[in-house]
Structure 1
Amino acid sequence: MRPLSPIEARVLGTLMEKARTVPDSYPLSLNAVVAGCNQKSSRDPAMNLSEAEVQGALDELKRLALAVESSGSRVARWEHNFQRAYGVPDQSAALLGLLMLRGPQTAGELRINAERWHRFADISSVEAFLVELEERSDDKGGRLVVRLPRAPGAREQRWAHLLSGPVGAPTEEPPAADPARAGAAAPAGLQARLDALESDVAQLREIVQALQEQLGLSRLGHPG
């Protein structure tokens, strides 16, 4: 399996996320994948991808057997095939999906952010799956995560995925000086509400699009 480009990783992570958070709207249309990739919350870094960029990534993921295109609808729909392609359990897939969407995180952050994907009993269980991914043997494809050097002033090490190739040493930055990092440390309840709101909007968009298809109307345009 070749390293994924940043756009391919974002598209794949979005498919993995929506399969768990909005199952009623899954598989996803191209419009829904674009909206999920370009979310302002729960994404690091933020992206502003076009339909053409997302479609190109979906085609590549399909070629790599990481995404599947569904038929039987007027609009093509997409779903991921991550666990089967990489041979990892659901818990590991959830952690890798979160790392693709949100960037490097500590085990504690991963446990909180995984609440709507998979409920881990405690941080130790998260760490156990991360270590398993870190020690993955070469005959299974090699390791999929790496521990990053502890940043100055940080108590915990962060983890990063290796699906897009080797990860360089992080630039030195005081944890509290980065507004994006500070926002990531917001109360889990508030972040969960923001995530739920965005999922509801995506689901409503899917419902409207399905109604338009049934009524023979043109599909929804790309959201601004």
Structure 2
Amino acid sequence: MSLRHLTPIEARVLATLMEKARTVPDTYPLSLNGVVTGCNQKTSRDPVMNVSEAEAQEALDDLRSLGLVREASGGRVARYEHNFQRGVGVPEQSSVLLGLLMLRGPQTAGELRINTDRWYRFADISSVEGFLEELMERSEEKGGPLVVRLPRAPGTREDRWAHLLCGPVSDVQAPSGSGVARAAAGPVDDRFSALEAEVASLRSTVERLCAELGISISEGPAESANNTN
């Protein structure tokens, strides 16, 4: 299926729905407020965005017209769910990889395998690479390629991948965040990259649990207990 290019906000809204469907199924489908909160998370997002309710609602309406989002029936508050896999015409594994690329930006196959763990457990990196290559070689009859392999950055040992749902990606796009520092430092063991991605995933889990418990991640047990007195 051929789709027009998504805007960055549309991609963020869509990927947020895809993430929450798998990570917090008890609160899914999402209300507009839930969509905005998920889009503006400070963790597991690249880039970090500040999407307003009006922008999120406009994106949801446009995604509905493209067949990528549906409004759930029932209830006084409108709730939304994604229809990505069927709307784009890709298997579950490819859908997961595209969702993570929309949320976190260009990543290596190793980083994707770790970051998708809460969405789908790939057997190994080769499995991830296989689905990425299928997406890269997707025929024009099906809408054309959905990912691109980026040139290897200086000082890195793995290729990064980026999605094409928002249009062509610059070949010289540099890794964001700590990736820049790693590139400047020279060659680095791939295991370090994998461990760093795992730490980021664990931190995201801790922050989610703290939010559910109503405590700040910076609070210690004693401080949290004092605050309840």
Return the TM-score normalized by structure 2. 0.81
Match of 1:192 in 2: 201
1:133–1:145: 8 Å Cα contact kept in structure 2?
A: yes
Q: For residue 71 of structure 1, what is the aligned residue in structure 2? A: 73
Aligned to 1:60: 62
- Quick one: which amino acid aligns to residue 128 of structure 1? G
Higher relative contact order (CA 8 A, sep 6+): 1
Structure 1 residues 55, 136: CA separation in 2 closer, same or farther (over 3 Å shift)? same
The DSSP-based 3-state class of the residue aligned with 2:46 is coil
Q: Quote the residue 1:156 is aligned against.
A: 158
Aligned partners of 2:146 and 2:164 also within 8 Å: yes
Q: CA RMSD for the aligned pairs?
A: 2.5
| Distance in structure 2 (CA, Å) of the matches to 1:38 and 1:196 | 16
Q: Which residue of 1 aligns with 2:37?
A: 35
CA offsets, 1:63-98, max 9 Å, x none? 100000112111000000000011111110000000
Task: Provide the identity percentage.
Answer: 66
- Residue in structure 2 matched with residue 91 of structure 1 by the alignment: 93
Within the candidate set 140, 143, 161, 1:141 is matched to 143
Which deviates the most, 192-201 or 138-147?
A: 192-201
Structure number, greater radius of gyration = 2
Q: What's the secondary structure of 2:118's corresponding residue?
A: coil
Point out where structure 2 has 5 or more consecutive residues left out of the alignment. Answer: 185-192, 215-229
TM-score (ref. length: structure 1): 0.83
Q: Is the 8 A contact 1:24 1:203 kept in 2?
A: no
1:120-163 CA distance string (max 9 Å, x none): 01000000000010111111111100000111111011000000
Residue number in structure 2 paired with 1:222: none
**Could you tell me how far 1:185 is from its partner in structure 2?**
6.5
User: In the alignment, residue 95 of structure 2 is paired with which amino acid?
Assistant: A
Structure 1: give runs of 5+ residues left out of the alignment.
206-224
Paired residues, number: 204
